[in-house]
Amino acid sequence: MATFFGEVVVAPSRAGVDDEEWAEETPEDRDIRKELEKKREIDVLWTLKSGAAAESPAEGPSACSRFIVAMGRNAAAFLSSFILDSVCWEVVGVVKLWNEWCRTSSTTNVLPTDSFCLFYRLISDPTVLLCQCSCYVAEDQQFQWLEKVFGCMQKEGLQVIVLSTCPVADYKTQESTLTLPSPFLKALKTEEFKDQVCCPLLEQPNIVRDLPAA
pLDDT at res. 123: 92
**Domain membership flag for residue 84:** yes
- For residue 152, the tally of other CB atoms under 10 A from its CB is 17
**Domain membership flag for residue 143:** yes
Please return the burial class of 15, using the count of CB atoms within 10 Å of its CB with bins 0-12, 13-18 and 19+.
exposed
Q: Consecutive sets of 10 residues in the chain, 214 residues long: mean pLDDT of each?
A: 64 56 73 80 75 52 87 88 85 85 58 67 92 88 91 87 89 82 87 87 89 89
**Domain membership flag for residue 36:** no
**Domain membership flag for residue 55:** no
**Domain membership flag for residue 25:** no
Tell me the three state secondary structure of residue 19.
helix
Q: How far apart are CA 32 and CA 65, in angstroms?
A: 42
**Domain membership flag for residue 145:** yes
Number of domains in the chain: 1
Cβ-contact 148, 46 below 8 angstroms? no
Can you give the residue range of the structural domain that contains 143?
Answer: 41-46+61-102+111-163
CA–chain centroid gap for 119, Å, is 11
**Domain membership flag for residue 23:** no
**Domain membership flag for residue 144:** yes
